[in-house]
Structure 1
């Protein structure tokens, strides 16, 4: 191994879909062998279906707070509203609301829509946004929550317990990946002891990675293989939740960024004896 290629001799499994090539390149540059197996597929919701209904629900009453969770989701919501002829109406309706963003990408999407945020989570964690909101008196307040594929039920429940009305806006959902064979091949490689690290960048990918193994009769064997030697790295607490729920050991970088996740794997994996070539 060399300083510029600390992962030479290791194999890393990449389960991401949208940024798979980018993430894979970061690991390859550090000397790793990369196996791809997207664990989920992002599906935008139809403009005239669930998303349009959610937009109308938002417009049905005054809004006190807007929470932007993801840049791609918030941007997609406004783009869909614009295409449906409701973009300007939505923008004007939300101008008087206080907008909170879960990180830089969400903040950029908020500003790109024509709104201005009052708060951005320094750690880019939704839990920090929730804590910030719960410092306020939320009784009777109406909060619009742009969610991702995870419905964020605990987040919503906490706001409702504080007396708020929560209007969720789901812009896209997640399904099985387009290439299930690649996912199955990655699971099989883990079972054969050929994968040294599994970095996860989203909770749905982590959830479906385990669920696919369960549905194909490999769940118990997979969990044992993961406990016995695969270094699991999750980009943040939300992503780590299904891994933690499964009782699997994992690590997280200090900052919830892809680059930080890659550095974490590059720093910690070489301390282990490489098992693959």
Structure 2
């Protein structure tokens, strides 16, 4: 029997092959999905919100008029798309140059690099941006500098910022809120509900968020459907939650959902981070002289990716929890979708599983008892398997 190194990573299989990644983003979802698919992931898209521009909104128009008439001492740009949309709306109203002139007379702060880029693209100059890209750090910076008697324009980013506005007002500032766009639930809730169901039933291995409002919206919709607690349980356990940055992660971590984030809050960095974390999501075992690696909906046998039917994958997960030990047919039956048939369903699913694996000896039949993974007795210990959030297996 040849020696097997379960830690050896196959070189011909894409890093995310065999994993299903849920995408909740509305904006740039196609870009994110393409990056994930290029790395082998199966992508399920369920936008948790949609952006409603307010170019015709009277509140935005009135805020713009007020700032042109009485320019702000400080302007806080929170998002690139929002700041650009504001300037474009002002141009449509014939106030573009007047607004740029008014903002240019004061100090401009950018919450992050995208907002900073939008400021510079408009021909303006930003004075400061926080390393954390958080509104809280912008607020601390302003309060430390002193805001009493100052007129401050705050460009909102989808939702109100009551804590920021209240703190500035209490410190003596006059705050003008600029609502450039807002987040609302998607017009078609079907894709979001299907994505949620995939998380609940184990069909999604990794769930991605690129904005805090998306996380809030998904939880709110789950509450409407009566599945919020089940969703939180899944996100705290087998499903890996990946956020683009700490601001996005905040509403999830506030309800005790652990998250992973890249060092830089960028889509590309998030995908590369996931690619690096992928080995920890797989379960690797030396079985019957082969290297077996369990991924979300597929298995690698000696580095070759093999698709496994959902029922077979459930059986394999149960067997992998106790590799080398016998698992009864009754226990395996309980793991099958439905789980209320007779034990013949286990035999049928097992036959299909063995065929999918291409090596029948991986799973042994123990007469009158059940089945077992033929774990190599002298092989290394099994490794991996959602080590961050607890073993899915």
Fold-level similarity (TM above 0.5): yes
Structure 1 residue 19 corresponds to structure 2 residue 28: yes
Distance, in Å, in 2 between the alignment partners of 1:97 and 1:34 is 45
The equivalent of 2:269 in structure 1 is 260
- Give 1:80 deviation, angstroms: 0.4
Structure 1 residue 243 corresponds to structure 2 residue 285: no
Quickly say closer, same or farther: Cα 1:19–1:48, change in 2 above 3 A.
closer
Distance, in Å, in 2 between the alignment partners of 1:122 and 1:191 is 36
The equivalent of 2:321 in structure 1 is none
3-state SS, counterpart of residue 203 of structure 2: coil
After superposition, the C-alpha distances for 1:165-184 in whole angstroms (9 at most, x for unaligned) are 21110110111113311111
Match of 1:171 among 180, 184, 192: 180
Q: Is the 8 A contact 1:123 1:255 kept in 2?
A: no
The gaps in structure 1 that reach 5 residues or longer are none
After superposition, the C-alpha distances for 1:17-46 in whole angstroms (9 at most, x for unaligned) are 111110011111111111010110000014
Q: Is the 8 A contact 2:55 2:85 kept in 1?
A: no
Give 1:208-227 correspondences, 5 Å limit. Answer: 208-227=217-236
The equivalent of 1:41 in structure 2 is 50
Q: Is the 8 A contact 2:83 2:155 kept in 1?
A: yes
Match of 2:109 among 73, 91, 100: 100
Give 1:1-150 correspondences, 5 Å limit. Answer: 2=10, 5-150=14-159
- Give 1:112 deviation, angstroms: 2.3
Q: Is the 8 A contact 2:55 2:86 kept in 1?
A: no
Q: Is the 8 A contact 1:76 1:171 kept in 2?
A: yes
RMSD: 1.7
TM-score by length of 2: 0.67
TM-score by length of 1: 0.94
Q: Is the 8 A contact 2:53 2:182 kept in 1?
A: yes
Quickly say closer, same or farther: Cα 1:258–1:127, change in 2 above 3 A.
farther
Distance, in Å, in 2 between the alignment partners of 1:48 and 1:78 is 14
After superposition, the C-alpha distances for 1:38-93 in whole angstroms (9 at most, x for unaligned) are 11000001425221122123234341101111111001001101101111221222
Residues 21-30 or 247-256, more deviating: 247-256
Q: Is the 8 A contact 1:47 1:84 kept in 2?
A: no
Q: Is the 8 A contact 1:125 1:236 kept in 2?
A: no
3-state SS, counterpart of residue 145 of structure 2: coil
Q: Which runs of 4+ in 1 moved over 6 A?
A: none
Residues 111-120 or 16-25, more deviating: 111-120
Q: Is the 8 A contact 1:231 1:269 kept in 2?
A: no
Quickly say closer, same or farther: Cα 1:151–1:269, change in 2 above 3 A.
farther
After superposition, the C-alpha distances for 1:163-213 in whole angstroms (9 at most, x for unaligned) are 222111011011111331111110111111111111100011111111111
The equivalent of 1:275 in structure 2 is 296
Q: Is the 8 A contact 2:16 2:41 kept in 1?
A: yes
Give 1:192-231 correspondences, 5 Å limit. Answer: 192-231=201-240
The gaps in structure 2 that reach 5 residues or longer are 1-8, 283-294, 299-393
Distance, in Å, in 2 between the alignment partners of 1:76 and 1:117 is 18
Q: Is the 8 A contact 1:38 1:179 kept in 2?
A: no
- Give 1:124 deviation, angstroms: 3.0
Distance, in Å, in 1 between the alignment partners of 2:273 and 2:170 is 37
Distance, in Å, in 1 between the alignment partners of 2:76 and 2:244 is 21
Distance, in Å, in 2 between the alignment partners of 1:123 and 1:117 is 16
Residue-pair matches, total: 277
After superposition, the C-alpha distances for 1:115-148 in whole angstroms (9 at most, x for unaligned) are 2111233343333323322220211111111111
